Each structure stands twice: as structure tokens, then as C-alpha cells.
Structure 1
Amino acid sequence: MVNFADVDRRNYPMVDVTTGYGQWVETYEQTVEDIMDLALLDALTVPTWHAVQRAVDLGCGTGRTGAWLRSRGVPAIDGVDLTPEMLAVARAKGVHDRLVTGDIRDTGLAAGSYDLLVSSLVDEHLPDLLPLYREAARLAAPGALYVQVSFHPQFILATGMPTHFTSAGGEHIAISTHVHLISENITAGLQAGWELVEMREGLVDDSWVALKPRWEKHRNVPVSAAFVWRRRG
């Protein structure tokens, strides 16, 4: 296990998740690039999105992922997030059937209710991954898929960069960040009863460099990863 403080090269002031995303909400969708997460969802081959009956969007934020799922034919989506300000934006989109303010590790939603579970760019905020994987397993119907998109640990280690945003006053603010190695994700998923059926990694490539020219020095470093898990039984 790697302590983020040991690799932090930015030394931005750091706030908790609810505080950080509550402040970031106004510019969040203008600063998070689709190539980070939605492009990886597009690249997956195991999920048949239009065949899903009911999905849960864990850490749904402003509803970016929920909107993407709706566009792929998912008919019913619930969402859970800690931050009221982010949920307000998601609610305005109207893509979720139900939105719940809560912790993705203990949602309070009914067990066995979903044949698709999705979480995107949330696990770096958790000190321990196992509670998330266990809660996802509790919510999953037999044979359900759990798709998780992560901020790649190799990129965090290479750059010392936390999840961060620029405040209204122009200050860089970090949101509580934890480094989880790929092996930690796989170990937690297996321990919670999931079977890994697909994995993809997104590298810094021409598309990234076009968006962020200063990232040329990080070319070919993986920046995000997508895991597809199937519920056993």
C-alpha cells in the first residue's frame, strides 16, 4: 500500500470529499475530460448496455455517467452520492429514476436490486476498497456486472498529482486522494466475490496531448483504468 503523502509533488491544500466536490461543482463538467472515463466505457466489450434492466450509479456526481448510460439504452438508473451540490446538478439532468444522498460503501439500497453497477473516478477517495466492493456485491443480482473506472495508480505515482480543482479564487485545491495499486483492486474484488471479466487501461496518447499539451512528457503512461466484474452465483 502506498501512502499518497509520500508521493505528493503538488502539496495543494487538501479537503474532504464533500467539501471539495461541493466547491468544484460549478466547473466540474468543464474540467473532467470524457477521455478519462467515458471513452473507457465506450471501449468495453463485455457489457451489453441496452440489455440492462436496472443500474445503480455509485458516486454519481453531476450525472455524467448516468447520462452516458441513458444514451446507451439503460432504462432505469438510481444514483448515490455524498455531495448535495453535485446531486442537485444530477437531478436537473433528469436521467436518474432516484437519487440518494449517501455513502457508496453503505447505500441503504435494497439488496440484489441491480443487474449493472457503475462507479467512476471515486475509488481514489476511499482509504480501503473492500467496503465498496462488498456493498456493490450486496446490491448486485446474480450474474450482475460491476464496472469501475479508476484514476490509474501509475499516473498518480508518476506525477504526484491528486484529484484537484481550481477554486473560484484561483487556488488549486486537492480532494482527499489515496493510491490503490491495480493489485489492490483485484484483491478486493475477488475477496468480495466478484469475477474479473474485462479490464482496459487508457494511456496518455495523441488525444490527451491535444487536450493537455504539457502532458507530452507523460505520453504512454496509463491515466485511467476500467474493471468489469461479474457477480458469481
Structure 2
Amino acid sequence: MTNFSPFDTRGYPTVDVRTGYAGWVDSYEDTVQDAMDTDVLARLAVPRWADAATAADLGCGTGRTGAWLRARGVGAVDGVDLTPEMLARARTRGAHRTLVEGDLAATGLPGGGYDLAACSLVDEHLADLAPLYREAHRLVRPGGLFVLVGLHPAFIMAAGMPTHYDGPTGPIAITTHIHLVSDHLTAGLAAGWQLAEMREEVVGDQWTALKPKWERHRGHPVSAAYVWRKP
């Protein structure tokens, strides 16, 4: 992990993950762009989503990823999240078989019970990646996949921008950590995963159409996705 503080150009007041996502829940769906995660997932070549009878949605939030997985033929999705308010929103969406409030390092879900584990836009909130990779490995059956997508560390560093939302009196940051690509590789390999695919997306026309001010970031990596297979 690399300390985010030297790169922070915003200086927003910062809150912990549970507090932040509870405050963000009402506007989350309006501010998180598909280009950041689900569009990246759609471009991956290795996962055959419809082959997964069961999936664990780690850090399921409002249920965006779970709904995306179900729309692509995943049979049943169990979600875990730290924030009760996010889980309540996911329940109204109805994409998950079960929803559990819990820590991603120890979800309580059955070991070896899933064809797929997925984790979207979560890793920047974790001080240590190793527990997540170990827990995903415990959950997935042999031959199954763990797919993780998040903001690229190079983008967080270049933009100097933490994960944040508009609070009642101005922007509020949620605790943000920087994990280099090598941090992911180290944690994944140490947990027993085999890397099957990796994809990095850069800021291009799609992003500048959504956020014209990001023209100055054109060509910079913005998202990274990893597909791991359990031997």
C-alpha cells in the first residue's frame, strides 16, 4: 500500500467507510458511472458469466454489480457489505439471493460454495488487500474465478482525488488507500490464485464525454480489472 496523503489535492474532510457510504447512499446511483466498473467488466474475455451458477458479490453496495451479474446469466448472487444503508437499497433492487452485513475479510459465507466472486470499487478503501484475496479464495470452488475491478492507482495519484461524495455542506472524502498493481499481484498470488486476465482502461472519449474536465487526464489509466482463477 502507498500512502494517499502526499497525492491529495482536495483536502476534503474525511470519514470512515461505513459513515461515508451511509451518507452517499441517496445519490450513489446518480454519481457512479458504468464506465468505471461494469463497462470494464463487460470487456473482459475470460469470464463466461452465464456459466456461474452462484456468485459472491463482495462489497455489494446498492446492488449495481449484483444486478449486472444477474443480467448476464449468473444464477444466484449473495451479497456482503459493511454499510446497512447500502444493503437496504440493494434489498429494494432484488437482484441478490441473500444479503449480509459483514466484513470482506470474514464474510461468513460458505467456503467453496461459489463459482465466482466479484468485487467492484472497493479495494481503495482497504488498508490491506491480503485478507480480501484470502477470503475470496476460501469462498470460490476449485476452477472458479475472482474478478476485481477498481480505480487504477495511477489515476488516484495523478488526479489527487479521493473517493468522495457531495455532503450537505460540501464534498466529503471516504478513507482512500492506494494499492499498486504489484500489490494486487502479490496479494493474489500469496492467497493461491492464478492470474487469468488483467485489463487496464485509460481516459478516452467515453470518459471525456461524461466528464469534460477530465480532458487533461486523457490517456491516463483510470480503471484496472483482474481475473483470478482458483487452481
TM-score under structure 1 length normalisation = 0.98
Question: Which residue pairs with 1:103 in the alignment?
Answer: 103
RMSD of the alignment, in Å?
0.7
Structure 1 Cα separation of the partners of residues 17 and 85 of structure 2: 12
Question: Which residue pairs with 1:226 in the alignment?
Answer: 225
Opposite residue 118 of structure 2, the aligned amino acid is V
Does the aligned pair in 1 maintain the 2:53–2:115 contact within 8 Å? Answer: yes
Opposite residue 88 of structure 1, the aligned amino acid is A
1:189-208 CA distances to partner (integer Å, 9 max, x unpaired)? 00000000101111110010
Question: Which residue pairs with 1:88 in the alignment?
Answer: 88
Structure 2 Cα separation of the partners of residues 210 and 109 of structure 1: 40
Does the aligned pair in 2 maintain the 1:114–1:144 contact within 8 Å? Answer: yes
Question: Which residue pairs with 2:135 in the alignment?
Answer: 135
Give, in angstroms, the shift of residue 7 of structure 1: 1.1
Does the aligned pair in 1 maintain the 2:120–2:149 contact within 8 Å? Answer: yes
Give 3-state SS (helix, strand or coil) of 1:90's partner: helix
1:160-191 CA distances to partner (integer Å, 9 max, x unpaired)? 11001111x24100000000000000110000
Question: Which residue pairs with 1:53 in the alignment?
Answer: 53
Opposite residue 48 of structure 1, the aligned amino acid is R
Runs of 4+ aligned structure 1 residues displaced above 3 Å come to none
Opposite residue 66 of structure 1, the aligned amino acid is G
Question: Which residue pairs with 1:18 in the alignment?
Answer: 18
Opposite residue 150 of structure 1, the aligned amino acid is G
Question: Which residue pairs with 2:112 in the alignment?
Answer: 112
Give 3-state SS (helix, strand or coil) of 2:225's partner: strand
Structure 1 Cα separation of the partners of residues 206 and 48 of structure 2: 26
Structure 2 Cα separation of the partners of residues 24 and 199 of structure 1: 30
Question: Which residue pairs with 1:148 in the alignment?
Answer: 148
Please list, as runs of the form range in 1=range in 2, the aligned pairs for 1:194-205 lying within 5 A after superposition.
194-205=193-204
Structure 2 Cα separation of the partners of residues 112 and 46 of structure 1: 20
Does the aligned pair in 1 maintain the 2:36–2:150 contact within 8 Å? Answer: no
> Equivalent pairs: percent with the same residue?
62
Structure 1 Cα separation of the partners of residues 150 and 189 of structure 2: 17
Does the aligned pair in 2 maintain the 1:36–1:202 contact within 8 Å? Answer: no
Opposite residue 16 of structure 1, the aligned amino acid is D
The reply on whether 1:179 has 2:167 as its aligned counterpart is no
Total equivalences in the alignment: 231
Give 3-state SS (helix, strand or coil) of 1:109's partner: coil
TM-score under structure 2 length normalisation = 0.99
